[in-house]
Each structure stands twice: as C-alpha cells, then as structure tokens.
Amino acid sequence: MVQTPSRHRGSEFSATNSVQPVKRDTILLGNTLSLPNTKLFGTDGIRGKVGELLTAPLALQVGFWAGQVLRQNAPNQGPVILGQDSRNSSDMLAMALSAGLTAAGLEVWNLGLCPTPCVAYLASISQSVGGVMISASHNPPEDNGIKFFGPNGSKLSQHLQEQIEAGIRGAKVPIASLALGHHYHRPELIKDYATSLSNSLQQMNLRGMRVVLDLAWGAAAGLAPAVFEQMGADAICLHNSPDGSRINVNCGSTHLESLQAAVLEHNADLGFAFDGDADRVLGVDNKGRSIDGDYILYLWGQQLRASEQLPDNLIISTVMANLGFERAWEELGGKLTRTNVGDQHVHAEMQRTGAMLGGEQSGHILCPHFGISGDGLLTALHIASLVRESGESLSQLVSDSFQTYPQLLVNVRVDDREKRLKWHECEPMQKAIDRAKTAMGEQGRILVRASGTEPLIRVMVEAASADLANFWTENLVLAVQQHIAI
C-alpha cells in the first residue's frame, strides 16, 4: 500500500479537514472562460492546442470541478494522483490543475514526469479519489491534454466527465463543503509502478536480448531503459531524455523509421516505440518490419490461449482492426468483437464480456491479468518475454501469424472544430461513403471519423486489393476536402 506523507500518518487527512470552509465565490471569482460550443471532453479527456483551448484559467476550473465530482463519487476520500509528460506546457497546467483540486478540498500527490499508466496504477492502490494525467499522448509539442482516472485506475466514466464539464460551463452542480487541500511532490512513488512491471513477468527475464527503445523525448525516457535493463536486456535507447520541444517529433510510435534503422544497425532482436506518455507501443521485428497492435493482440492472445488465460478465446478490438487479423483469429477458433475507436470503449466491452485481452491497432493494449490500463511498457516487456520464451525470432512469429489486408489511413486536417465534429451532417460526404460501400461490397470496409484527440478527420479504407483501397480512399479524401471548403 502506498504510504501517505508523514504528517498524515495515523490520521485521516486531519490537516485537510481542519481548515475552515471557504466561500465558493472566492474560489471561482473571475470565471469568464471562453469555451467552444462543442464538448470539451473527447475520446481521451480534454485535448487541444495550448493557449487556444487549453489555458491556465481553464485548467484551474477543470481542477476545481473535477475535484468536486471525484470527492462526491469516490468510495475513498484519499488523495488525487497527478502526473505529467515532458511538454513545455505541462508544468503550467499541472500548477493550475493542482490549484483547482486543492481549492476543491483535495490532497494532491504530484508525481512529476511519469507515464500515464503510472498514474492509473498508483490511483488504484492508494485509496485515492482518482488520478489526473497531463499529456497529449502522441500529439505534437504544441498540444496538451488532461485526462482523468477513477479510484480503480480506469478511465473516468462519460457520465462523470459530463458532470465536470457541466460545472465548468456554469450549471448548478452540487458542491461539497469547501476546505482547502494540500499539495505534495511524490516522485518516489514511481518506483512502486516500476516494481509492478517487473513483478508481472514473475520469474521470466530478458537476459541475452538486445532491444532498441524509442522513448519519443517523452514521459518514459528515464524509466523504460531502467526497467528493461533490470530485466536483463541490453537496451539501446533513442530520443531518451525528456524534451518538451521535440516530444513525438519524427520519432516514437507515430514515426517508426529511426527505430527500424536502429534495429537493423545494431542487429537487435526487436524494438519498441512509445508515444509521449507511454500508454501505447508499437514494435519492430528483427528484420525491421513494423508490428502494430493487431499483431501484438494476435501473438499475446495465442500465448494466453495456450495457458488457458483467455476466456472464450475472446479478444476485444476496434473498428480499425484489420480483416486479416480477424479472420486468422477466427480460424484458430477465437472470437473478435469490435468497438468504436478509443481504449475506453475497448475497456467497457471487456468489462461487459469478461474478456482478458483487448486493444487497438495503434498500440493501446489492455490485459487485466497484469495491468489495469493501457500500458506501453507493460506490453513491450510481455512481448519481449513472449519472443524469448518461444525460442523463435519475432519476424518468424509474425510470418506464421497472418497477412494483413491492404489498409489505407489518410488524415485530413480540419482546424474548424465544429465542422470537424459535425462532418456526418454533410450530405455529399454521406453519399460518397454510400457509393464506396456499395461498390466494394464484401471486398472491403470503410471508416470515416473525426479524431477525438487531434484536429483531423480520418479516412480508412480496407480492401482485398491495394488498387481498390487506393481508388476509394482518394474519392473519400476529396469529399472531406470539399466539406472543409464549404
């Protein structure tokens, strides 16, 4: 169990509760935020460009109202766990959030720089009211985000996110009696998360393996190499210091080229690329080929299935999962259930069905046997362990798994937030999608959606042939561009 700061041991937040209540109007004085007409919360918290959507005044209000909602809905009345990635704006947002949270009467344990799953893990073992992570994940340096976890380490429910947003927008949301909280720096707690990663592998080690790690100048820069080396691996690191000006820039899980080159250059067994907050990971095999979440799910699913740890041989994925993966898994007698894009949708379906493995093509992987949230470090360690245990190379394991269908994903930038989120109301776009679906029939799939984390409309076409995928992708991208121009 995580220990509270010494001044609170032996009492239940006595210092916090001894403070005289203050008036709500004092805390919220000067609240004149300019808010968008569309929802603040997307598929992974509140995310946007710093100085536009994300500002210190907004973060203050988010912290205050999140504090109210967390206090009133948590079974415990412990601290809130706060972490951040390496972005230049993360310190500013952390201080503003902490001010709002303490104004709501909460005790804040600030971990500083750490991966997102570290916040989720510590929230789950510390009698907390929840956790908050400041990160824009795989987004560029000028963006940032705020995402919340409940006291069990799971993403905060949509219902509670709506309550937080209602308070920010001025609705009459119930307020607990206000007593000012306290803020503590608790970076020493990160070691408890690191220990949980190595413990998840039990007696397995990675001795003799050469692994290249691309840390994306982000949150796992110091932690990942230490954990891999502790497990016995020879870790070769790229982009391995926290740098808020370069986080995710031409590196990490969205840009695998430097990792692929390094794996070949160093004759490594495999490589892993993390995003800025290390809640997702993509791999590279010993031949330099990229290994996405579909392959990770298939290989890990095989291992869990063989050890009878995969109920009903069920894997939960999203609408982005490749048809080649789905059909290969079904040939093994497995079942694949698809959800909307977003790890919270995957998690919800896993809870509903009792599934023990799920994730996204982008590298968010969930395995409740070993972790409570999407965790890039945990996933990478288990895939490396799987390869070592098999006695084969990762490239051989992948070659023996499945062949993907040609799948094209094109991102069209749409800076107009309202136009982006209401694309489905555009009749010409709907007609273009219907034409493509009718023409491809059973030979392909189409997915058009607004990104919940970036100013993009994503167009995905998957087909039995590359020519078919190319043709209809071009048609649909043109329809999106025409929608923007209207």
What 3-state class would DSSP assign to 134?
Answer: strand
DSSP H or E segment with residue 271: strand 270-274
Phi then psi for residue 485, to 5 deg, are: -75, -15
Residue type, 385: S
Of 171, 86, 172, which is closest to residue 137 (Cα–Cα)?
86
Distance CA 455, CA 268 (A): 36
Conformation bin of residue 136: beta by default, left when phi > 0, alpha when psi is -120 to 50: alpha
Q: Do residues 144 and 47 lie in contact, with contact meaning Cβ atoms separated by under 8 Å?
A: yes
Rounded Cα distance between 161 and 148, Å, is 8
Q: Rounded to whole angstroms, how far apart are CA atoms 81 and 124?
A: 10
137 is an active site residue? yes
Residue pair 361/322 in contact by the 8 Å Cβ criterion: yes
* Residue type (1 letter), 145: G
Q: Mind giving me the DSSP string for 20-52? A: PP--HHHHTTT------SS-SEEBTEEEEEBTT
Strands 45-49, 143-149: pairing kind: antiparallel
Between vectors from CA 428 to CA 423 and to CA 433, what angle results, nearest 5°?
80
Distance CA(242)–CA(466), nearest Å, equals 39
| 295 sits in which H/E element | helix 293-306
Q: Which of the following is catalytic: 86, 98, 124, 137?
A: 137
Residues assigned a catalytic role: 137
